[in-house]
Chain A
Amino acid sequence: PLPSAQHNNALRPTAGMPDSALSLPSLVDMGFTDAQAEQIHEAVCKVRGGSATKHALSTLTALFGLGFNPSSVLKMLQKCPELYTVRESQLQQCINYLRKLGLVEGSLQRTLAHYPQILTVPVKTIKHVVLLLREKCLFTVQQVADIFRDSPAIVLEDLSQTEYKFQYVYFRMGIKQAEMVKTRLFRFTLDEVRCRHCFLERRGLYQTPDKRGQTSIINPKLDSILKIDLDTYLSEIANASAEEYDVFQRLMARECQEQDQQYDSIEAD
């Protein structure tokens, strides 16, 4: 149940708000159960810094304002305790920017519930990711919105890793942006992608398309390489034993690590 309008009014922070704004009774007033209120109270007390109370209050207000119910709000705070200390302006800018990106109501809420950490990320950082996706990876506006909706954690990933992952899938695997979005590529680590792809490639089951986009075998879809559990991948796509894949993963990890070291030493020369 949504908290009543009256509650929301009562929550609007005012200058010189007494600490009692986050007292147990007022939390219960907001709609939390006694147990939930206690958890929040405890968490706020644990956060150091005098401004915690103020920020906690504005965060609660903002989250309720987005239509989350008390138990969803609690879950988000548990997932990301940093939310207690986030400035109100940061929070609002972030929400506004995500809306501007095209995360409409519903998908915005789902994204935030799934990955509340995104609210602590400076808009500038998010903008860098968007710029990369738009200009270097040539995703459309809609595709970028889809990526943020499905894989919000992309905002905290290293930009060069994200770019490399895109290039790997685009050039080595010959896969277009639309299929990447559909497969939710950015949910997978580069190591996972590379390992599953290279395993197939070395078995002769995947080919990089030539300039005209042609291959002499039919490549499996990205979906059936990444979006299935390991057992199904092995039995239906790779046709291999778990033992082989286990050894392969360890060999790949060492190969990649040694290749990186090699490049590093070349750069140092």
Chain B
Amino acid sequence: EKWAATRPKYPPTTLALQHFDTAYSAELGQLWPSVRVALLSERKYGALLNNFSHHDVQADLEVQGCRDFVSSADKEAQPCLQEESSCVAVRESDVGAKQQSPLPLSLNIKCVVFPRGDITRFKPARPDMHGLLGYYLMDAASVLPCLALDVQEGHSVLDLCAAPGGKTLALLQTQAIRFLCVNDASVSRTSRLRKVLHSYVPKQFLTDGNLRITSFDGTKWGEIERNSFDRVLIDVPCTTDRHSLMEDDNNIFSKSRIGERRRLPQLQLELLLAGIEAACPGGEIMYSTCTLSQIQNQSVVEQAICLSRENHGIRLEVVDLRPLTHMFKKTFHFAPSLHLGEMVIPHLAANFGPIYMCKLKRLT
């Protein structure tokens, strides 16, 4: 092999690190070194429990020292969360802060994690007697946008950029969705997504009547279907910071993909705009990424709010997710005081994220 001869002087992972050093030391300041070392070290996973599986994996995993971070959320910060209560809600507990309405969360989503500082890895999930896997390993912070989307009984939901399907699976755990639209522009990734769904969800939940899987360009969704979904998840393609630092293959920082990388914020904006249009008035939209970049996060949301009003006359309200950060501060590190949305930042003792999320509600 002559990899040594063909290896570029600056591999994409190096270029990514140089880029992040400049951008993120400006954005995160003092926090950057601590986030940097976490990004460059082994990440932690969470096991999204599959309610459709017959294995009692939760008990098994708890014996190994894991716990469901959702149900063990900080009770102080959410006085009305009780074990059997259907009211999973939080009230801003900060004294002096203006009274906020409770933040409702999607129900029945469970994700177990090893405790803070524990670096034990999960074993691969095994199939039960029906061939369904007991859990799906994913970044535990990726569960937060799904929780915060607040899927309720009878909702129709659109997952606009869904492959490989981790968040789709989380949404399906609620068993509340009347109709789910799953889309991803990439045909090969869509077929991967299909496989994932079939390894986790029984066939009767995957009929044409309750599920549609498509491979459209999400930016064009507005031409297909407007004002129709109660909930829309837009988990956009981004610089996937962790991946870009660790893997030279398929890296968006490689020289040949400079154009694609530069166009990301525009693509993200168009996807978000399409998602907003697809939601019904009163419907809720979750924008999420796995990058720390302000340009791909807050700036995209800001522009989308503006353009939705100017071009489509859609008025939007930003939903305050601070209660969420209070509830889950024992499990995740959140970036302090973003002016728009919330962000889980990696930390060695809780090496999840980065996950940015911002929730919007369509007023008109």
Q: Chain A: residues with CB nearer than 8 A to chain B?
A: 199, 202-205, 239-240, 243-244, 246-248, 250-251, 254-255
- Are A204 and B119 in touch, CB under 8 angstroms? no
**Could you list 12 examples of A-B contacts with CB < 8 Å?**
A202-B40, A203-B34, A203-B36, A204-B33, A240-B34, A247-B119, A247-B349, A250-B119, A251-B119, A251-B348, A254-B119, A255-B42
Query: What is the CA–CA distance of A247 and B349 in the complex, to the nearest angstrom?
Result: 6
Known contacts A204-B32, A243-B349, A251-B42: A199-B117 contact under CB 8 Å:
no
Q: Does B21 contact A (CB under 8 A)?
A: yes
Q: CA separation between A250 and B41, bound complex, in Å?
A: 11
Q: Contact between B117 and A203 (Cβ–Cβ < 8 Å)?
A: no
Shortest CB–CB separation between residue B24 and chain A, in angstroms? 10
Q: Taking each of B21, B37, B349, which has the highest tally of chain A beta carbons within 10 Å of its own beta carbon?
A: B37
Q: Give bound CA distance, A218 to B34, whole Å.
A: 19
Contacts A204-B21, A251-B348 known; list 8 others, CB within 8 Å.
A239-B33, A243-B348, A247-B117, A247-B119, A247-B349, A248-B348, A254-B119, A255-B42
Contact B36 A244 (CB under 8 A): no
**CB-contact partner of A202 in B41, B347, B349, under 8 A:** B41
Chain B: CB-nearest residue to A205: B33
Q: Given the interface contacts A203-B34, A254-B119, does A244 sit within 8 Å of B42 by beta carbon?
A: no
Which of chain A's residues has its CB closest to B35's CB? A203
Chain B positions within 8 Å of A, measured between CB atoms, are 21, 25, 32-34, 36-37, 40-42, 117, 119, 347-349
Residues of B near A205 (CB, < 8 A) are: 33
For B25, list chain A residues within 8 Å (CB): 204
Task: Kindly list chain B residues whose C-beta atoms are within 8 Å of the C-beta of A243.
Answer: 117, 348-349
Instruction: Kindly state the separation between the CA atoms of A26 and B293 in the bound complex, as whole angstroms.
Output: 81
Inter-chain CA distance A199–B41, complex, in Å, is 10
In the complex the two chains form, is B347's CB within 8 Å of A244's CB?
yes
By beta carbon, the residue of chain A nearest B25 is A204
Task: Give CA–CA (A255, B36) in the complex, Å.
Answer: 17
B99, chain A: closest CB distance, angstroms: 35
Partner of B349, one of A204, A239, A244, A255: A244
Contacts of B37 in A (CB 8 A): 199, 202-203, 240, 244, 248
- B36–A248 touching, CB < 8 Å: no
Measured CB to CB, the nearest residue on chain A to B30 is A239
Distance between B271 CB and nearest chain A CB, rounded to angstroms:
32
Closest Cβ of chain B to A99, distance in Å, is 47
Contact A202 to B36, CB < 8 A, known contacts A248-B348, A251-B348? yes
Task: Report Cα–Cα, A232/B36, bound state, in Å.
Answer: 21
A244 engages B119 (CB within 8 Å)? no
Asked if A203 meets B42 with Cβ closer than 8 Å, knowing A244-B348, A247-B119, A247-B348, the reply is no
Considering the complex, give the chain A residue whose CB is closest to the CB of B17.
A204
Q: Which residues of A contact B347 (CB under 8 A)?
A: 244
| Most-contacted residue by chain B among A240, A243, A244 (CB, 10 A) | A244
Q: What 3 pairs between A and B have smallest CB-CB spacing?
A: A203-B33, A202-B37, A202-B40
Q: Which residue of A lies closest to B350 (CB)?
A: A247
B347's nearest neighbour on chain A, judged by CB, is: A244
A248 to B33, CA, bound (A): 13
Q: Which residues of B contact A254 (CB under 8 A)?
A: 42, 119
Contacting residues, chain A, for B41 (C-beta < 8 A): 202, 248, 251
The smallest C-beta distance from A53 to any residue of chain B, in angstroms, reads: 55
User: Hey, which chain A residues are within 8 Å of B117, CB to CB?
Assistant: 243, 246-247
Q: State the Cβ distance, B182 to closest chain A Cβ, in Å.
A: 35
A244 to B37, CA, bound (A): 9
Which chain B residues border A250 with CB–CB below 8 Å?
Answer: 119
- A199 and B33 CA atoms in complex are apart in Å by 10
Nearest CB to that of A258 among chain B residues?
B42
CA distance A248 to B351 in the complex (A): 11
B40 partner residues in chain A, CB cutoff 8 A: 202
CB distance from B50 to the nearest CB of A (A): 28
- A254–B41 alpha-carbon span in the complex (Å): 11
A35 nearest CB across to chain B (Å)? 49
Contacts of A255 in B (CB 8 A): 42
Question: Complex: how many Å from CA A103 to CA B104?
Answer: 75
Q: Given the complex of chains A and B, what is the CA–CA distance between A204 and B117 in angstroms? A: 22
Hey, which chain A residues are within 8 Å of B33, CB to CB? 203-205, 239-240
When chains A and B are docked, how far (Å) is the Cα of A269 from the Cα of B353?
37
Report the Cα distance A202→B351, complex, angstroms.
14
* Bound Cα distance from A100 to B285, whole angstroms: 79
Of all chain A residues, which has the CB nearest B351?
Answer: A247
Query: Shortest Cβ distance from A174 into chain B, in angstroms?
Result: 17
Residue of B nearest to A244 (CB): B348
Q: How far in angstroms is the closest Cβ of chain A from B2?
A: 17
* Chain B residues whose C-beta falls within 8 Å of the C-beta of A247 in the assembled complex: 117, 119, 348-349
Q: Which residues of B have CB within 8 Å of A199?
A: 37
> Using Cβ atoms and an 8 Å threshold, which residues of chain B touch A203?
33-34, 36-37
Beta-carbon nearest neighbor of A246 in chain B? B117
Q: With the chains together, A246 CA to B348 CA distance in Å? A: 9
Nearest B-chain residue to A245, judged by Cβ: B348
Residue on B with the closest CB to A217? B21
Closest Cβ–Cβ distance, residue A194 to chain B (whole Å): 14
Which single residue of chain B is at the shortest CB-CB distance from A243? Answer: B349
Bound Cα distance from A240 to B348, whole angstroms: 11
Closest Cβ–Cβ distance, residue B43 to chain A (whole Å): 10
Q: Report the bound CA distance from A199 to B117 in whole Å.
A: 16
